Amino acid sequence: MLPDKTPLRYSEWLGYVFDRPVTPSGWYSDSEDTDFKAEEIEVVALVTHTLENCGADLAEYSDAQVNHGLNYIFDSACSDVVFALMSDSVPISSRLRAISAIKFLYQDCFGPRCAPVLGHNSEPGGNSLNYICYMLWDVSPLSYWERTASPDREIFYNAVVDVLEDALNSTNPACIESALHGLGHILSNHNDRVTGVITAYQKRNTFESLQLRSYAQHASVGRIQ
């Protein structure tokens, strides 16, 4: 846990987002009220603290509960939470910290808890968390900043690439695949760094997994699924 002040409503937020019965479609699909009542700047602080402390603070919740909670945060089809991280009403420094905190999600949650299997070819043995790990950059608008006025969008694209570059250092292939997935999506809009990041990853790895090597090659030309 990082030495930082805990947001006042943090316990309430954790309960609202993660302490829910597990249903096939997720609690946000079964409830009429999925709007956590808070200003965007507070939402960003809550999301940031959650990610920075996810290893300890999400440990009491099942993989399925965490999967649904992270979908609620990141999937724009489940809530508007993620749009607070893209809102001009929130200081850039706060939004950049929130994005950077996704590194902790890979390091302290996805890495230890996801099964080491790949999603793009439906390898068996995955658990509930593998879904959001693999699909994070599909369901989240954080890989697409074209609606943000220049030069800010370059700042945010670079922040996301920083996260994905860091995730490529994971020992869990599910995290590496997720990072390549995100980089492949960003490539078409922001290729200044992405190609170099993927190429550097390819050069330093022997790729015991032929499937992961092939996926990295597809990501390097933006042909991912």
Is 40 within a domain?
A: yes
Summarize pLDDT for 54-92 with one digit per residue, the tens: 999 999 999 999 999 999 999 999 999 999 999 999 999
Question: How high is the mean pLDDT of the chain?
Answer: 92
Summarize pLDDT for 158-210 with one digit per residue, the tens: 999 999 999 999 999 999 999 999 999 999 777 779 999 999 999 887 767 88
- pLDDT-derived band at 150, boundaries 50, 70, 90: low
Is 162 within a domain?
A: yes
d(CA 151, CA 155): 7
Q: What is the pLDDT of residue 1?
A: 43
- pLDDT-derived band at 222, boundaries 50, 70, 90: confident
Q: What is the pLDDT of residue 91?
A: 96
d(CA 22, CA 130): 16
- Total structural domains within the chain: 1
CB-based contacts of 199-207 (< 8 A; 24+ apart in sequence) = 201/168
Is 82 within a domain?
A: yes
Is 25 within a domain?
A: yes
Are 189 and 144 contacting, i.e. CB atoms less than 8 angstroms apart?
yes
Are 134 and 119 contacting, i.e. CB atoms less than 8 angstroms apart?
yes
Continuous segment of H or E residues that includes residue 180: helix 173-186
User: Which amino acid makes up residue 111?
Assistant: G
CA-to-CA separations, 187 to 46, 124, 160, 182, 219, in angstroms, rounded: 30, 29, 12, 9, 8
| Average pLDDT estimate for 116-139 | 94
Q: Sort 13 into a burial class: Cβ within 10 Å, 0-12 / 13-18 / 19+.
A: buried
Summarize pLDDT for 27-43 with one digit per residue, the tens: 999 987 778 999 999 99
Is 79 within a domain?
A: yes
Q: Which residues contact 9 (CB under 8 A, 6 or more apart)?
A: 38, 42, 46
User: DSSP assignment, residue 149?
Assistant: P
Which of 72, 59, 55, 64 lies closest to 13 in space, CA to CA? 72
- pLDDT-derived band at 105, boundaries 50, 70, 90: very high
Q: What is the pLDDT of residue 2?
A: 46
Is 2 within a domain?
A: no
Is 1 within a domain?
A: no
d(CA 48, CA 45): 5
* HSE, side-chain direction, 13 A CA sphere, residue 55: 11
113 vs 224 pLDDT, higher one = 113
- Percent of the chain at pLDDT > 90 equals 79
Is 225 within a domain?
A: no
3 vs 186 pLDDT, higher one = 186
Q: Which residues constitute the domain of residue 71?
A: 10-220
